[in-house]
Amino acid sequence: MALAHAREDQIYRIDHFFGKEAVQSMMAIRFANTLFEPLWRQEYIDHVQITAAETIGVEKRGKFYEGTGALRDMVPNHLFVLLSITGMAPPSSLAAEVVRSEKTRLLDAIRPIKVKDFVVAQYRAGKIGGEKRLAYRSEPNVDPKSDVETYAALKLHIDNWRWAGVPFYLRTGKRLAARKTEVAVVFQKDTVPAFQTGFCGFNAQCHPVPA
């Protein structure tokens, strides 16, 4: 729609997740590091988990959240920023249009999501840090019968040679136990028996995936 009113070089796209120091460092960690880049593919990686968890609720944004929900608020912008940088192929240069093209190729390769690979939920009343917290439906400007999700999790498959068979798990939610933004790249299980017990390393056991 934007291209109907302006040229591509006249459009400036930004997401505040790009401002996070760790996010800005991810391209250097991947593409300027001969230790990681050769391993950044389906032969070695079991799965990838991308999490944006918050302990706060919707606060005073109930009216906004009623029309948005966790999925539209976080996934297609913030989490896809992390997804695209984590999964994109090496760009031929750091020019904006080149990097954007590689991110677009990755996003275009995402397989349509099936219902069984998508979960939503809504927080109820409880305690965090010993303090009582309201249920979402009791928050200001929220419909008492609202079915808007405050938690969303999905499993993605990317149909290209680099990520064939490697699931990406994206999750985000409010009123969770801890506040963190994390990309966990989980390598395949060790095949050497001596390292299969008593040593965590990058095994999936460190970052269990919900069924």
Place of tokens 């979960």: 119
The CB-side HSE value for 175 (13 A sphere, CA atoms) comes to 21
Query: For residue 155, which of 125, 111, 192, 122 has the smallest C-alpha distance?
Result: 111
Active-site annotation holder among 5, 16, 47, 78: 78
Active site residue 78: yes
Backbone φ and ψ for 46, nearest 5 degrees, come out as -80, -50
- Could you tell me the two tokens for 133? 């917290």
Q: Which amino acid is at 152?
A: A
CB–CB of 55/179 below 8 Å?
Answer: yes
CA angle 185, 190, 193 (to 5 degrees): 160
Catalytic residues: 78
